[in-house]
Chains A and B, each alone.
Chain A
Amino acid sequence: MDHLSELENKSIYILRESYNQFDNLAALWSVGKDSTTLVWLCMKAFFGEIPFPVVYIDTGYHFQEMYDFRDMAVQKWGLELILARNDRALEDGMGPESKLACCTALKTQALKDCIAEHGFDALLLGIRRDEHGIRAKERVFSPRDQQFQWDYENQPPELWDQYSARADEETHVRVHPLLHWREVDIWRYIQRENLEVSELYFARDGKRYRSLGCASCCAPVPSEAATVGDILAELETTSTSERAGRAQDKEDAYTMQKLRALGYM
């Protein structure tokens, strides 16, 4: 079996296992490439009809293209969509000026409220192990307590693909069917399945988005990649060590002056 089919098989196994083990399941869908892949895998796992809702956390600040794509996909795939939205905070004028508080209110709180309202006992998430160092310790089934805290030392063991979906006193379990995928796998799979993703991923005027979120807090990266094929070529040549911010803006100028005063450059 080829690599992508192996990844797909494992994810579908996890999806069916979750549906079997939980009474009230939902998938979290941000309309980004990973969670769109997740929704597509759900479509395949359940033969074209997903037997649980998909939750979209609407901060009210997303790109218009994201809302358009969402509505298109809901129609096309016949999804049962649930909006998680903190209307009270939005009415009170919460916005990206207060970055951290904004995320807490419009994302975390909105999701907490949504889980409480619908009584979900498990959520499917499209996170990947290669996203960040901290993810290395993630499990496929990851219990969360009422404060959304993750007690990584007290996780159920996962040996020989035997997933235990119950943990002590959790309010819900997070399930990560894409944990074993890498960014490049996702794009290869999108190419193979001819899966539609948001147009924001493709270059316009020499720039494209590598990940999607609120319009106010996302910056595009310089790129000429206009197709999935281009993106794959780009990913294969980009060295991961190129994240260092280029020394151009005012902040860096100040920092350089300081380094110079100390004789470090």
Chain B
Amino acid sequence: MKFTTTLLASSAIVGAGTLAFADAHGNMAKEMTLVSWGGAYQASQDKAYVQPYLEMHPDVTAVWDESSAEAVAKLRAMNEAGNVTWDLVDVVAADAIRLCDEGLAMEIDADEVLAAAPDGTSASDDFGDLLVSDCFIPQIVYSTTFGYRTDMVGDTPPTKICDVFDTDAYPGKRALEKRPINNMEWALLCDGVDKADVYDVLATPEGQEKALAKLDTIKDDVIWWSAGADTPQLLADGEIVMGSTYNGRLFSVIEEQKQPVAMLWDAQVFDLDGWIIPAGLPDDRLARVMDFVKFATDTQRLADQSKYISYGPARLSSAPLVGQHADMGIDMAPHMPTDPANAQNTFLYNYEFWADYRDDIDAKFQAWLAQ
């Protein structure tokens, strides 16, 4: 009952919305400001769907703003100032949920706004569980996982996540992200907690202490990173023996820069990245964005993106279309975090848990870090 009411209510809202777009169809804005992360990821978006879209619509221009890292704070400030200058913002799913909570992102109905799969599967089925928020339009699945120096681990390369905590077998520094998310889960896992119980344990103060105590065993051997580019640099320079980062970064260290680095996929944490549309856009800009986003997240476009970067397309129907890297001509499928060989033991970022516990655990984590 509840579910259907919500569904009906939201489709009513969006139904009204689509009518408005239809009205405004004649005067879609000629310019879009797209916000993304910069670097190779933004380049993959540009090549896979922004440039093709602009070729189809020669009168439209797109401007990139590389502000995704501060997107939540900036959108909030823009909203308070009453002048939202962004049209489409690329954020990680956790940020999309917060923007939705704060009323800063527009709620959408996937089936109305997004294209169906070529075989007619509706968008909501095609994206499935990845639609983690009413405001979120997923693009890719990426993972946070480890890379290690093949020349620094001897004859027995690490195969399990717990090798990260084993400083006897693998002496040397490790790089971990300077935040509790992911690190706490890995610590508990290697402290003997069952994978199924990780979040139940982490919800208790004792469990948090347990995780920090485990991290404490390698505290002096860790370099804490806050930018995704840190670990690749540290690995390339031989500063660290292993370190966590986004799998696409490791792909470029291994395949593009040919460094002696290999992947440790065990206990990789899947996360999602996608678009949100800022709330309160004027009709003409909204109509343009809707038109663009429908194109940019269709099955072929998401599959195209994986030619340029090793992140998995968020649509089920895109997976069979993943081909070879556009420049290097290597098969991309084995480099995808979702490839069956790589995805034997995985976590999915627990959005609800971290929305609740982020402030609390972060305070403890930072206090522990500062000691």
Partners in one complex: no
Chain B residues with a Cβ under 8 A of chain A: none
